[in-house]
Amino acid sequence: MSETPEDVSRPTERTASARDDEPAGSRGVAIAVGAGSVGFSLVLPVLIVVGVYSFLTIYAIVKAVGSAPDAANPIVVLTGVIGLVTLFVLLFAAAVTLIGRAGNPNKRP
């Protein structure tokens, strides 16, 4: 016959410090946000390639129609590629920030 301690038979009380350590959001939302981040990170190179291809195509058309049939200006091409990459990364950061704030409204500063 084994004796059971008194603490096992009654429900445990949670202290305030234990509640502070728990995450505020749900695990499903966290997994969805993580999957979305990984998915966007995997799609980002494809978006950059398509964006650069579209930019260069439009630039070539404008250059061909314009009065200056010279070679492409490397500064314009480099600025366009840097702008596209920056745009996609900033959109990703903004989406993560907005989703993070919506998923955890209790911890806003």
Q: What is the pLDDT at residue 65?
A: 85
Return the higher-pLDDT residue of 102 and 35.
Answer: 35
Mean of per-residue pLDDT scores for the chain:
77
String of DSSP letters for 56-103 = HHHHHHHHHHSS--SPPPHHHHHHHHHHHHHHHHHHHHHHHHHHHHHH
Chain segment 44-68, per-residue pLDDT in tens: 899 999 999 999 999 988 888 886 6
Are 29 and 103 a contacting pair, CB within 8 Å? yes
What whole-number distance in Å separates Cα of residue 50 and Cα of residue 54?
Answer: 6
Domain boundaries defined on the chain? 40-109
